[in-house]
Amino acid sequence: MRPMLATHGRHVPTGAAWTHEVKWDGVRALTDVGAGGLRMTSRNENAITIAWPELATSPLGDRDLLVDGEIIALNDRGLPDFRTLQDRMHVRRAATAARLSREIPATYMVFDLLRLDGRDLAGEPLDVRRERLAGLGLDGTWQVPAAYDDGPMLFDATLQQGFEGIVSKRRDSRYVFGERSPHWQKFAHRHRVSYVVGGWRPQEGTTDRLASLLVGEPTPGGLLYRGRVGSGIGPKQGRALTELVTGLGRDGSPFADEVPRADARGTHWLEPVLVVDIDTHGRGYDRLRQPSFQGVRTDLAPEDLLP
């Protein structure tokens, strides 16, 4: 079985017909508990139970149920972060999974109930399914996240708090396995943030055509590396940036922390004086997510960005 998926929404819906939830930045998982025990599967129907030993025991014992949810883990800023799970996602050795469950503990955010005690609930309205789910009293490694009536409020709140976004669902929506439904709509946040340029990389196969920037965040402890940005830098932007970085070269990295080898290879290091705006998916992460170059900020100096 594949889970039901949301479509990309354009405007957060309002009104009593909709309910709204936090969009969790984790690993989607259907969990089936029945006579054969507990089995977790990914959105691609791969068996993933062994990777999550702390979640692989139902808090309801052997009670028959099928639930949908998101496996999450928190980063060092207390936010759900998909990258914190990357070392765990593909583990297939029980001993390794057990060790990682102690180092990177996960929580299962259960947001839908599809079968209970042998009764198929997928055809029931979402409101009915959520009411039955709330009545199970899940609390611990399995949790039921809150739902909200005010979608725009939740969108603004999650934007400020640094969450991935929200999902809006029609209260009368039925659950259709494998369907990407307009009755579920997702709204991911993107953020425009200013960063300092610390280096540039040429287009592959060339030595002088600027194709991407290495950027960092100024802190009292120095310029901390945040990632490489190539999206949004076309030929026109590349030529303009080339003029701006001419004369700013230096021998070594200006970043206070280590730049990954894959990013450092072939980089031309720069004095950290140029400020640019980057559009990025999510905030509060050590590395930019799906970054896109937006422009140069001639009105800002690096010291203006210090916290």
The set of catalytic residues is 23
Radius of gyration of the chain (CA): 23
CB atoms within 10 A of CB 123: 11
CA distance 149 to 160: 18
3-state secondary structure of 106: coil
CA distance 69 to 72: 10
Instruction: Locate 59 and state its tokens.
Output: 């808090």
CB atoms within 10 A of CB 69: 28
Length of the chain: 307
CA distance 6 to 186: 6
The structure tokens 């819906």 sit at 13
